[in-house]
Structure 1
Amino acid sequence: MSDPVPVHPRKFTYADYRTWPEDERWELIDGEALAMTPGPGTLHQIIFRGLFRQLDAFLRGGPCQLFSDPYEFRLARPGQSEDEITDVVKPDLAVVCDPSRYDGKGGIGAPDFVIEILSPSSASRDQVAKRRLYERHGVREYWVVDPEERLVFVARRSAAGTYGGTDIHDAEGLALEVAAFPGLTVRFDEVFPPRPKVVRESPAPYHPG
């Protein structure tokens, strides 16, 4: 996801969120207002396109819908009215299979599958705060893609309703199945660009004097 920056100390709700300027990009996590930077970098976009193409090709024509940032999800906690919601997020990629979980304004409740693409300043939030948030709201599978280290962090919801541990995969040559969607395998050689070739120059010949 693009870099979020906390800017206010008090808790906000979806009612507050709706009053903010439409040309500004925000998320709410536990009522904390997070301003998102205007746009992602080049590598982020390359990775996003590679993931989107594969997910879209698999899901097209089926009952599930693929959404991407800036599409937003309102995640209500028990007893919260829409105005009282304190969690509003814009995942890089999200899949929703139940049509009752989205309306004209965006997603309602947890997606089935979420992918976030790290940026340096969003790493702790995506790997800690959002992991807890998605676990609490029932996201079945959550991937975090680290562009710089070329790693994929995978959390899957267990029968107990928790994620448990996180599996860490090296993206080099990786073909990773989405457990939430049997038959869907993401090939990361089609996601990451080739590594730049390192050209090593031979040392100059030594001529003793």
Structure 2
Amino acid sequence: MSALIKPELVFTYGDYASWPSEEQWELLEGVPYAMTAPSRQHQLVSFEVGFQIRSYLSGKSCSIYAAPFDVRLPANNEADELIETTVQPDLAVICDAHKLDDKGCRGAPDWIIEVLSPSTALKDMDIKRRLYERHGVKEYWIIHPTDTWLMVYTLGASGTYANHPRMYPLTDPVAVGLFPDLAIEWGFLQDRAG
């Protein structure tokens, strides 16, 4: 996790939008984090899970988007150029079409999935988990493709995630809280491992 270390500066989406398009960044509470290229295993998991979700959502009102896809998380109702948090989740499911525009998504997706990489694990499990909770992401999945486990956070009635997430091995299908008739299958990990 490499942050641009300039603690006296707070960057905004206005700054972020002006950075070179060939560079990939996330902006977390005004601090830019450079994103590294994902591994083959990361891409396999992201693509396969995204395909299952996309197939399920066909003909439904929700949409799925894969990184790079900007999700702007305003603290209040500030203008886009003043937003201090812009993330690029590996997968984001959005059920409110009013949140979508040509820039990506403004506001919390309903479901976010992050696939861990060594360089992003701490950021995904701590900083982004707190941000997603605060902004109201209803379901947050963290997938560890190498150690083959899944951590699931679900937003409770209090507007917070439980202190302890639900944990699953990536062996049996895992039902999605937002879509109880959808279960993500993990057979592709055994079929294509190595």
Answer whether TM exceeds 0.5 for this pair: yes
Q: Distance in 2 between matches of 1:8 and 1:83?
A: 21
SS of corresponding position for 2:82: coil
Q: How far off is 1:18 after superposition?
A: 1.3
**C-alpha deviations, 1:84-108, integer Å up to 9, x for none?**
1010000000100111011011101
Closer/same/farther in 2, CA of residues 150 and 95 from structure 1, 3 Å limit? same
What is the total number of aligned residue pairs between the two structures?
191
Q: Distance in 1 between matches of 2:22 and 2:43?
A: 21
Moved more, 83-92 or 7-16: 7-16
Residue segments in structure 2 that go unaligned for 5+ positions in a row:
none
Q: Distance in 1 between matches of 2:83 and 2:158?
A: 25
Give the structure-1-normalised TM-score. 0.87
Where does residue 32 of structure 1 map in the other structure? 31
Match of 1:147 among 142, 145, 148: 145
Where does residue 4 of structure 2 map in the other structure? 7
Q: Distance in 2 between matches of 1:195 and 1:23?
A: 30
Where does residue 84 of structure 2 map in the other structure? 86
Where does residue 168 of structure 1 map in the other structure? 167
Moved more, 8-17 or 155-164: 8-17
Match of 2:53 among 29, 52, 55: 55
Q: Distance in 2 between matches of 1:14 and 1:161?
A: 26
Where does residue 203 of structure 1 map in the other structure? none
Residue segments in structure 1 that go unaligned for 5+ positions in a row:
197-209
Q: Residue 99 in 1 paired to residue 94 in 2? A: no
Q: Distance in 2 between matches of 1:189 and 1:155?
A: 23
What value does the CA root-mean-square deviation take over the aligned residues?
A: 1.4
Where does residue 200 of structure 1 map in the other structure? none
Counterpart AA for 2:165: T
Give the structure-2-normalised TM-score. 0.94
